[in-house]
Amino acid sequence: MSLFLGIIFFAIPCGALTATVAGNKGWNGTKCFWAGFFFSLLALIAAAGLPDKKQTRYLRLLLEAKGIDVEKPTEGPSFDRKD
C-alpha cells in the first residue's frame, strides 16, 4: 500500500514536472515523463540542465538575420577508432 501511495504522491508528480520542464525547452515530454517517473528527482535535475532547443533556434535565426555567419554545431565527439 505504501508503494502505491509513493507512486501517486511522488513518482507521478516528478514525471509530470520533468515532462513540463523538458517540453518547455523543446524536448520530447513523453519520454521525459517516463524518465521522471522512474528516476524521480535525478531526472528532474537532468531536465533542468538540458539545453533550450527553442532559444538556441531563435538566437540562430536572429544572428543569421543580422548577417552573422553561424556554424552548425557538431553532433558531438566522434568515438570512431582510427586503427
CA angle at 46 for the pair 30 and 22, rounded to the nearest 5°:
35
The CA distance from 36 to 11, in Å, is: 7
Put simply, whether the predicted model's pTM sits higher than 0.75 gets the answer no
The predicted pLDDT at position 60 comes to 86
Question: Domain spans of the chain?
Answer: 2-65
The predicted pLDDT at position 27 comes to 92
pLDDT tens string for the chain (83 positions)? 787 887 788 989 999 999 999 999 999 999 999 999 999 899 999 999 999 888 888 888 888 888 887 776 556 555 555 54
Sign, CA dihedral 31-36-42-48, equals: positive
